[in-house]
Structure 1
Amino acid sequence: MKPIIVPIMLRYLLDKFWNEDVWLPPNTTWADLAPGPDKAVVYTDHTHVFFPIPLAFVFILVRYVIEK
């Protein structure tokens, strides 16, 4: 396979996997779920996970040091 075909195939697979018809109810798009101040309903943002995960590793490290 040529190197240019792999990104095209990957994009095609990702588009099929994240298809709105599969994951969302009718008349809903991914833009409706995107976070923003102008929305009637505020959904959680995927970036909210970036802080708790490293903090969890810090807690595990502290627990390991204290118990040792």
Structure 2
Amino acid sequence: MMTAYILVSLLLAVQPTAPPKQAVVETAAGTFIIDLDPEAAPNQVAYFMKLAQQGAYDGTTFHRVVK
């Protein structure tokens, strides 16, 4: 009985994780993926995704490149 209780408790404690939010960026130099972290920056991720879905970044250039 105790084993069943522990097993059920462990199963209930495991929460499925949501798939990571990602942005796929296509450039003339190639394609890359940006991992977004809505837990760390929920407002910024939501705003970035809104702008991306509206096409705000289409045809723009990078203003800063770090090597």
TM-score normalised per structure 2: 0.22
Instruction: Select the structure with the greater relative contact order (CA < 8 A; seq sep ≥ 6).
Output: 2
Name whichever structure is richer in strand by fraction. Answer: 2
Name whichever structure is richer in helix by fraction. Answer: 1
TM-score normalised per structure 1: 0.22
